[in-house]
Structure 1
Amino acid sequence: THVFGGEDLARLPLYNPRATERTEAERVFVDTVRQASAIIIASPGYHGSISGLVKNALDLLEETAKDDRPYLADMPVGLIATAYGWQATGSTIAALRSIVHALRGWPTPFAAAVNTQQTRFDEEGRISDPAVEGQLRLVGQQVARFAPLAGTIGASN
């Protein structure tokens, strides 16, 4: 398991499709996604959509366009959105689903919406709300359940 948090994503330069070389941070990110059998994308909801850091990282997956498995093809993708209100969590999840479909991935049936207006985190970053914890666990369980199928979804016999 590899986690790319906000600090990691902030190290990625603005995606430039014309760049002939990639930074070490870009290479590590793209190579990690290439090797993954499943991923979870979590984004804060900013102005009704995903954050710029998350969008920039997803744009970088254009580097996989000519791979045998381009983008997120046949990969289960769990989705988590956090925002200060329900409207932004819903629109952020909708944006993530749309992007994952465009990248040929398979969003899991359930996505977690965390309304930070109602849900608090402790000093170590843990959630104190059992219902939200259950949502996050369900996303992880669905991704783990579908991960062994990665690469076989849609494959011909």
Structure 2
Amino acid sequence: MIAPYIVGIGGTTRPGSSGERMVRAVLAATERNGATTRMFGGAELSALPHFAPEDAERSDAQREFVEAVRAADGIVIGSPGYHGGVSGLVKNAIDLLEDLRDDRRVYFDGRAVGLVVTAAGWQACGVTLQALRGIVHAMRGWPTPIGIAVNTFEQQPFAQDGSLADDGLRRQVAMQADQILLLAGATR
């Protein structure tokens, strides 16, 4: 049996952002259950030129990103909640996936997509998570039933050693990883 391939997308221009670390936590949970993964964090997303649909040429970084998503069985997208919306860095990467429009599996078609939002407040968490769900639906993907929202104003998601800080968050990450793998297995 071929291991499911799960791609993570998320982060900010700040190295080690809580959102990027949360996406990595979900990827690690899928790996523990047999998946292979690839992460496109803040550094990789920052290297992507602004998406311009009229440009036929793509940079090496853009081609590498699109090819990884094209091959993915499942995806994890994480965004900070900036003023109730998806960050420009993450949205630019998602917009680049317009290059999948003519594929047999258009955009996220048939792929499980786990969503993670970190924000300094529950309102920003909820609104941003809903925005991501709408994007994934529009791109023909299947958002996992569990979306992870971390209110960084009330909760530090990580302990000093870098592990997830509490049992509730560990359960959410494990559940989302299981849902991604379940749906990814159904579409193979």
Shorter-chain TM-score above 0.5:
yes
Could you tell me whether the CA contact under 8 Å between 1:49 and 1:88 is conserved in 2? yes
Match of 1:30 among 24, 44, 66: 66
SS at 1:22 equivalent = coil
**1:88 equivalent in alignment to 2:142:** no
Worse-matched range after superposition: 123-132 or 50-59: 123-132
> Secondary structure, in 3 states, of the residue corresponding to 2:91?
helix
Q: 133, 145, 152: which one pairs with 2:170?
A: 133
Structure 1: gaps (5+ residues): 152-157
Dislocated runs of 4+, deviation >2 Å: 121-127
- CA drift at 1:124: 5.3
8 Å Cα contact 1:81/1:113 also seen in 2 = yes
What displacement does 1:106 show? 0.7
How do 1:55-134 and structure 2 match up within 5 A?
Answer: 55-120=91-156, 121-123=158-160, 125-134=162-171
What residue number does 1:50 align with? 86
Deviation of the 1:140 alpha carbon: 1.1
- The alignment of Structure 1 onto Structure 2 pairs a total of residues equal to 151
Determine the structure 2 residue equivalent to 1:2. 38
Q: SS at 2:178's partner residue? A: helix
Q: Give the distance between the partners of 2:140 and 2:102, measured in 1 at CA.
A: 13
SS of the equivalent of 1:109 reads coil
RMSD between aligned alpha carbons?
A: 1.2
- 2:181 maps to a residue whose letter is A
CA shift, 1:7, in A, is 1.0
- The percentage of aligned residue pairs carrying the same residue is 48
